Chains A and B, each alone.
Chain A
């Protein structure tokens, strides 16, 4: 029998296990669904009290650009949700310096405060993770 459950299911075994989860975004918003649906996973992960980092790399940095107005394309603007992450205790947001620079962007263009890391620093952080999920 299958069941449909929309609610968050709490971890019942391995209770108390805290793993380092890194969610990697490399894709721009709206051209594909990955940034939006990726964000939905990140929000759910907040309920599991894990050590969550969110990384924006390559075109993923575009997900955080300010001033997104989707009226003309009639697609839901999900960028305000990045501002809600703090309220879920998801505060470790990282952007790769090289990705920003290649796209002519700076932190001032972004909708939320982030920590800007070099490729080397990001690499180090990635190596420390238990689970890496890319969208």
Chain B
């Protein structure tokens, strides 16, 4: 089965990106594929390479980059939401790309299931 994920909240402040990540890992472990992870609202903050969380805690941004690299997952950050919040190519972490909201609608069309992780 192909899953699309919508992550609507930023790292650390809400558990949403953690839950989404664990869901994605479990889906991949079960042999499913992830069509796209789309980041909207404060979710775009999952894509900034400027985060420096404490060493003894998970590095949410890097985790996404690693997941994308290992499994070829498309991590898409909404351009409008990103511009509002100061995310741009200059501070974008590895594995993410900035694109339009159409990519979210497309994920809804192309994936078998779209799951939303938010507040």
Are A and B subunits of one complex? yes
Give the contacting residue for B89; candidates A4, A44, A134; CB below 8 A. A4
Residue in A44, A132, A134 with the greatest tally of chain B CB atoms within 10 Å: A44
Q: How far is the CA of A96 from the CA of B99 in the complex (A)?
A: 34
Residues of A within 8 A of B81 (CB): 37
Give the contacting residue for B40; candidates A7, A14, A37; CB below 8 A. A37
Mark out the residues of chain B between 14 and 53 whose CB falls within 8 Å of any chain A CB in the assembled complex. Answer: 40-41
Give the contacting residue for B97; candidates A2, A13, A40, A134; CB below 8 A. A2
> Across the interface, do A48 and B102 meet the contact criterion of CB distance under 8 Å?
yes
Least distance between B34 CB and chain A CB atoms (Å) = 16
Give the contacting residue for B116; candidates A14, A21, A44, A134; CB below 8 A. A134
Residues of B within 8 A of A131 (CB): 108, 114
> Across the interface, do B79 and A133 meet the contact criterion of CB distance under 8 Å?
no
Give the contacting residue for A8; candidates B88, B98, B102; CB below 8 A. B102
> Across the interface, do B109 and A14 meet the contact criterion of CB distance under 8 Å?
yes
Least distance between A7 CB and chain B CB atoms (Å) = 6
Nearest to A32 among chain B residues (CB) is B119
Q: How far is the CA of A28 from the CA of B18 in the complex (A)?
A: 26
Residues of B within 8 A of A47 (CB): 102, 105
Q: What count of chain B residues pass the 8 Å CB interface test? A: 27
> Across the interface, do A8 and B100 meet the contact criterion of CB distance under 8 Å?
yes
Give the contacting residue for B110; candidates A13, A37, A134; CB below 8 A. A13
A66 close to chain B: CB less than 8 A? no
B106 close to chain A: CB less than 8 A? yes
> Across the interface, do A34 and B102 meet the contact criterion of CB distance under 8 Å?
no
Residues of B within 8 A of A6 (CB): 79-80, 100
> Across the interface, do B118 and A2 meet the contact criterion of CB distance under 8 Å?
no
A135 close to chain B: CB less than 8 A? yes
**6 closest Cβ pairs, A-B complex:** A2-B97, A9-B102, A44-B101, A131-B108, A8-B102, A4-B98
* A interface list, Cβ under 8 A from B: 2-11, 13-14, 17, 19, 21, 33-34, 37, 40-41, 44-45, 47-48, 50, 130-135
23 pairs, A vs B, C-beta closer than 8 Å: A2-B89, A2-B97, A3-B98, A4-B88, A5-B79, A5-B99, A6-B80, A9-B106, A11-B106, A13-B110, A14-B110, A37-B40, A41-B105, A44-B105, A50-B105, A50-B109, A130-B108, A131-B108, A131-B114, A133-B108, A133-B114, A133-B116, A134-B118
